[in-house]
Amino acid sequence: MTDTPLLIAGLGNPGESYARHRHNVGFMAADAIAAHHRFPPWRPRYRGLVSESAISGRKTLLLKPMTYMNDSGDSVGDAARYLKLPLDAVVVIHDELDLAPGKLRAKTGGSDAGHNGLRSITAALGPDYRRVRIGIGHPGAPAVLSYVLHDFSKADREWLAPLLDAIAEAVPWLARDDDSGFMNRVALLIRPPKPPKPKREEKSDGV
């Protein structure tokens, strides 16, 4: 196990009016991880809210930037620089328009794909941090802003809670730098159970 701390930043906008927006699914994931692994209460630091504990024996800092989405890099950059973290020890959880609702992908680096939170973090740190992308689907170009800044729909909530629970349960794989294992574990946890096989009807003897 590495001695390097892990920083997991969930992206969103602060304030009750944003709390259930699609754009805030990173905050939701950070809250789910904190609750599942019994992290201590959030406290202000690095221009955000932080909670610190250990996951799989690795010191882990959860961060919810309070800078608003477009300036997420101010908070994530402060934390990463203060902790002197290499970029492979920084994981950013965010909403992803280009993934179907409920799908999840983990990867290192890449483009910001029009996501202002990622653009800000990339400007602060460079592109080679790790990302956990939570699919929210794409409504079509003209409606993007109102779509992401709107509450999850009732239909969305049916997949959202199980996915957040699965992320929280699978996060030890992220702490072990096993992003593929993390994705596989999440996929297994949210896979619907197989329907029971029908019982064979007993053959009648014709009596």
List the CATH number of the domain containing 24: 3.40.50.1470
* pLDDT tens digit at each of 207 positions of the chain: 579 999 999 999 999 999 999 999 999 999 999 999 999 999 999 999 999 999 999 999 999 999 999 999 999 999 999 999 999 999 999 999 999 999 999 999 999 989 999 999 999 999 999 999 999 999 987 889 999 999 999 999 999 999 999 999 999 999 999 999 999 999 999 987 666 777 665 555 554
Assess if residue 196 is contained within a domain.
no
State residue 134's pLDDT score.
Answer: 98
In a domain, 183, yes or no: yes
Structural domain range at position 131: 6-190
pLDDT value, residue 200: 66
Q: Quick check: is 69 in a domain?
A: yes
Which strands make up the sheet holding 48-55, listed edge to edge? 43-45, 48-55, 58-65, 6-10, 90-96, 130-135, 104-108
Q: Decide if 66 is inside a domain.
A: yes
Domain assignment of residue 203, yes or no: no
Q: pTM for the whole thing?
A: 0.91
Whether residue 15 is contained in a domain is answered as yes
By annotation, the residues acting in catalysis are: 23
pLDDT of residue 152: 97
Give the number of domains in the chain.
Answer: 1
Hey, what amino acid is at 3? D
Position 161 scores a pLDDT of 96
For residue 205, tell me if it sits in a domain: no
pLDDT confidence of residue 205: 54
